[in-house]
Amino acid sequence: NEGNEYFKEKDYGRAVAAYSEGLRRRCGDAELDAVLLTNRGAAHFHLGNYRSALNDAIQAKKLKPTHLKAIIRGALCHMELKNFSEAIAWCEEGLQIDSKEKKLVEMRAKADKLKLEETFLGIQTDFSTRCQGRAVLGTDLLCKRNIKLILEPSDEEEEVSDGLAEISLDGFHSDSATGAKVHLDADGNLNWPVLFLYPEHEQTDFTVAFHENSRFIDHLMVMFAELPPWDLEKKYLPNNLELYFEDEEREEMYEVNPEHTLLQVLQHERYFVKAGTPTVLVFAKRSPFSKKYFSGKKVHRL
């Protein structure tokens, strides 16, 4: 009680001393000791003693595994210590007890975001020694997947601090795509923003979260379940489409197998993810426009 009074007065140093005195009395009541440890951890936390606060949360959780306040405090400590993976694990543990606990839900989302930013932030100039590619953004997460990511040059260094630039490709622009970012899900898989370009009609589609293990045909079946209003000739049907990506450096086109997953395409030796957003071009099969579009270009077909 004395510790609580000091805590209310924001006299956290004396609160720590009072809770510590209570613990030294060894009352034998595990639940009371868990409360004392959790409260002392909160006082340490406000003093900036995050390691001490975390140790108290760990001890409190051992005494009472379902003590949500201790779990929340431990997760907060890991956030402050930038141990985002551990913070996520603590949040998951707490959400198993109470799946609607607002603090844990919000912290889990924030930890995911910060973990991803930590993974992707910064252009590594020496990354080419481990992965091929120009101006590659990322770390081992991309290297292990053999994905080559390049950023558009920016006048302001701060503009690339979030990892992705705005989308502007060959005259096409998608406002809805601006600011969308690749993110890591709870299972450790990447979900990418993907831009579909339809050169014949100068139209675009944008998928906010294309799971790296999803096939292109699965997305096409959903996207073209109904004919788009601009397809007056009714030829943009899921099984009547051809997908391509462009190798801008060599000015060559590569056909994409619709049965392939996004990851399989991103791992192609000549695929470079531009501005953080994979892009594919979509044509109706054997259309006069596509024949004209590919005229004079080297095309690698399936």
| Boundary of a domain, candidates 96, 126, 156 | 126
CATH number of the domain that residue 3 is part of: 1.25.40.10
CATH number of the domain residue 295 falls in:
3.10.20.90
For the entire predicted model, the pTM comes to 0.49
Helix spans in 9-83 (H):
12-24, 30-46, 50-63, 68-80
Q: Does some domain include residue 148?
A: no
Nearest CA among 117, 134, 113, 115 for reference residue 125: 134
Domain co-membership, 247 together with 173: yes
Examine the domain organization and report whether 256 and 203 are in the same domain: yes
Confirm if 77 and 71 have CB atoms less than 8 A apart.
no
Q: What is the pLDDT of residue 114?
A: 81
Are 205 and 273 in a shared domain? yes
Instruction: Count how many domains the chain has.
Output: 2
DSSP code of residue 198: E
Query: How do 190-198 and 183-184 pair as beta strands?
Result: antiparallel
Shared domain check, 178 and 98 = no
Asked if residue 136 is part of any domain, the answer here is: no
Residues 104, 187, single domain; the answer is no
- Check residue 269 and give its pLDDT: 94
* Confidence (pLDDT) at 90: 95
Please tell me whether residues 271 and 182 are part of one structural domain: yes
- Same domain, yes or no: 207 and 271: yes
Residue 71 maps to a domain: yes
Residues 19 and 111 occupy one common structural domain: yes
pLDDT at residue 118, as a whole number: 64
Q: Which domain holds residue 108?
A: 1-126
pLDDT tens for the chain, 302 residues: list them. Answer: 999 999 999 999 999 999 999 999 888 899 999 999 999 999 999 998 898 899 999 999 999 999 999 999 999 999 999 898 899 999 999 999 999 899 999 999 888 888 776 655 433 333 333 344 333 334 567 778 899 877 654 443 333 333 333 322 333 333 334 456 788 877 888 889 999 999 999 888 888 889 999 999 999 998 888 888 889 999 999 999 999 999 988 889 999 999 999 999 999 999 999 878 899 999 999 999 999 999 888 999 98
CB half-sphere exposure, 41, CA atoms < 13 A: 26
Confidence at residue 173, expressed as pLDDT on a 0 to 100 scale: 35
